[in-house]
């Protein structure tokens, strides 16, 4: 059995080598649900839980459509836009609520097309994964050769704790930003409604 350090170095290497699928690698034809699931599982295998939990299921996708997180399929088929939405949602749902994800996607796609936004997302994700992999690998290589004892495990537990706290703080910041933008947008909309109402009374 590989040591904890060897396991994490291998895991970090896989994370560094992972590339979020680019828009140009998306299928050229629209896909049915079962084809979408197969494609997404292949693309997102690295994000599967250690307990074997699937990264995506038909019920998840149906729920996203029902709650208007992603557009409805066209005659039960999913386009490149749908695949881009799904990859983004499946990653972001780990740190944001579906409501916040919907707000974020709606804001971004109101200003740029889906392809442009997705390519930016893909680049950001690769960079974020690289930084995380480097941090895990650095501690693993520094501890290489050390026995898998309580002291070694404590080092990695402390890193896990630090990463968890950082993830939580980043999530809080993202939610604060989205909430502020939403409130600002709602105030602007209410102001326009009042202006129209006043003009109607004049």
The number of angstroms, rounded, from the C-alpha of 91 to the middle of its chain's C-alpha atoms is 2
C-alpha R_g of the chain: 21
pTM: 0.83
What separation in angstroms does the CA of 83 have from each of 40, 43, 72, 148, 174?
Answer: 8, 11, 12, 42, 23
Cα separation, 129 vs 90, whole angstroms: 15
Cα separation, 68 vs 139, whole angstroms: 42
pLDDT, tens digit only, all 202 positions of the chain: 678 888 899 999 999 999 999 999 999 999 999 999 999 999 988 877 555 677 899 999 999 999 999 999 999 999 999 999 999 999 999 899 999 999 999 999 998 999 999 999 999 999 999 999 999 999 888 887 777 788 888 999 999 999 999 999 999 999 999 999 888 776 665 666 555 655 655 5
Q: What are residue 16's phi and psi, to 5 degrees?
A: -65, -35
Cα separation, 35 vs 5, whole angstroms: 37
Q: What are residue 10's phi and psi, to 5 degrees?
A: -65, -45
104 and 92 Cβ atoms separated by less than 8 Å = yes
Angle between helices 114-142 and 98-109 (to 10 degrees): 130
Cα separation, 58 vs 83, whole angstroms: 13
Q: Tell me the two tokens of residue 22.
A: 């680019």
Q: Tell me the two tokens of residue 18.
A: 């992972």
């Amino acid at each position: 059995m590989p040591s904890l350090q060897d396991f994490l170095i291998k895991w970090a290497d896989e994370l560094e080598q992972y590339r979020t699928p680019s828009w140009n690698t998306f299928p050229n034809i629209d896909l049915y649900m079962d084809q979408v699931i197969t494609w997404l599982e292949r693309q997102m295998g690295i994000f599967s839980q250690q307990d074997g939990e699937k990264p995506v299921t038909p019920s998840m996708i149906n729920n996203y459509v029902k709650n208007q997180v992603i557009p409805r399929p066209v005659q039960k088929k999913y386009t490149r836009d749908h695949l881009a939405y799904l990859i983004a949602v499946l990653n972001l749902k780990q740190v944001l609520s579906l409501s916040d994800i919907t707000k974020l996607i709606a804001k971004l796609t109101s200003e740029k097309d889906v392809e442009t936004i997705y390519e930016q997302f893909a680049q950001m994700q690769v960079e974020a994964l690289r930084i995380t992999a480097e941090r895990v690998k650095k501690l693993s290589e520094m501890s290489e050769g050390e026995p898998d004892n309580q002291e070694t495990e404590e080092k990695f537990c402390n890193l896990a704790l630090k990463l968890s706290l950082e993830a939580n703080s980043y999530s809080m910041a993202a939610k604060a930003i989205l909430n502020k933008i939403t409130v600002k947008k709602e105030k602007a909309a209410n102001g326009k409604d009042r202006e129209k109402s006043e003009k109607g009374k004049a």
